[in-house]
Structure 1
Amino acid sequence: MPSENDAALRALLPREAAARLQSLRLSDGVATLVLDASGLGAAERAGLEIGARKALERESDIAEVRVALMAERDGPAKPAPRILAVGSGKGGVGKSTLSTNLAVALARRGIKVGLVDADIYGPSQARLLGTEGTKALAHDKKLVPVATRWGVPVLSMGHLIEPGQAMAWRGPMAAGALTQLLEAHWEEAEVLVVDLPPGTGDVQLTMLQKFKPAGAVIVTTPQDLALIDATRAIELFTKGGVPIVGLVENMAGYVCPHCGEESDPFGHGGGETSARGLGIDFLGRIPLDIAIRRQSDAGEPPAAGDGPQAEAFAALAARVADWLAAPSDRAAGAA
């Protein structure tokens, strides 16, 4: 294997990655690259990283590849991305899967989206976006988001700790972790989708105090208990002056893959009825579908493909994109 100063190490890289290489270090089987991604869009940045990573991973002497993408700023600093919080009053309603696919569906509409996994104690976005085992790097004391194949850079505690490691942290430590994730190098993002933990605890309060979202999407299932808890989440955001984009009814309806019969194991229409009663928009329904579960577990977001699952997430993203594009006075008036 060539030394870290040998040109042969650079020769392993694809042509574009080699041309944009700022530094390449090999130590104890770990190759660390810094690539100049100036002028590239989200998909091109992802392709640049993936190409460099795959080229070096083929070498038997390289056990791990770490890639940092940096971009020079031209002209005035870009405005901070708008934060779109995705919350729920309770766990088990599919909030993280919905956050992933909403981000991917927004990216497919041409919006530059980043995804923050703010579920500090139970991070799942590394799995959902197929980036497990990738460690986040830092530049200028700030984390660098991890690129994905879907054009949605992501940061999660899953990129900072060992798989399966328990996060036995008190509230202030979790709040500090959230701050690190949100103050990372998100300069290229226009919108940050933030997958919040369930409930109304320390992470939510820290966000309201330090990183006030532009809006909040609330996720529920049709069953009464989930709707009651969703109402609590709505109240928290409303009291914090955060506009409610609307409510999504997840796991709504199930079609048997064998007989084709449709059933509603969690009930039907509760989300839409509740949204109407609360005076907020109903953003749509996402079906209870085993294909969503299988693809999510495999790190292949359904929103990136075709079929009814992708269409459901695309319809949701269209509603959210319309809200984001609305005049600021309209969005502010929703609080």
Structure 2
Amino acid sequence: MTCAATPVTLRADAPAGASAGEPAPAPDSGIAVNGVTVTYRSGVSALRDATFAIPTGTITALVGVNGSGKSTLFKAIMGFLRTARGSITVLGRPVEAALKANLVAYVPQAEEVDWSFPVLVEDVVMMGRYGRMNMLRIPRAADRAAVADALDRVGMTEFRRRQIGELSGGQKKRVFLARALAQDARVILLDEPFTGVDVKTEEAIIALLRNLREEGRVMLVSTHNLGSVPDFCDRTVLLRNTVLAYGPTSQVFTQANLERAFGGVLRHFPLGGTDPAGQQAVGVITDDERPFVVYGEGTAGERAERPR
């Protein structure tokens, strides 16, 4: 059963390019990854000598082809995989300490969830409070209030008593975002949050992420949706089994860097015209999911600031 489409609104109010080889900043950054290598039991290194840093109060895109190490990096930050070399700190703390303090939340891909499991929307969101409950996991008034507020922020209050499996793809994404909010996580990892959602839901999720950025939180967003990255991500990390480049999106999200990260996967189409000033050739780059416009040899991010 799939719920009928409803208008998506997220509440706005709420309480409170460096090169890959450079050393990460001081440990007060949001996420600092220093020379990290992750090797599986098979001996294959899915991530090699990765280094980057993300400050607090930012939205960062994690961009790369399938198999480039994005999921491996997320698992390492979540403590599911040990690093063979290097270190990861979250808000200046080792991963284990950050997880114990409930500072990190994860918004999964749809494929990682068993939607047939019978659980209510409000119960999924309440799972974000488990780390703050006693061993019996009996919700207190503060827990119920946090769940209600989180559902309100993502516009899902009216679905709180609905089975999670009955929701649309976009509604499910919003429920897991609500779980992260109920947890009061300061660092949120989002794995392909725009896959399977409509345009209104994508815009609503982006609006919420911007509000969370204003609260000083850190969002690391794994995405194939290259077209939207310059519009809402302050920073970008380009990954291809190591970090190729990281830093402000306006500096990192260049045609040359993207071609290094994606190789032959990206396609470039010259449009045969120039920008409004008549000075730079206009082209389109696409990963076959969403195209974006580039001007001359400039960055893809410039397109958001130029007349269309």
**Which fold has the larger relative contact order, with Cα–Cα distance below 8 Å and residues 6 or more apart in sequence?**
2
Q: Per the shorter chain, which TM-score range?
A: 0.3 to 0.5
TM-score normalised by structure 1 residue count: 0.31
TM-score normalised by structure 2 residue count: 0.33
Greater share of strand residues, 1 or 2? 2
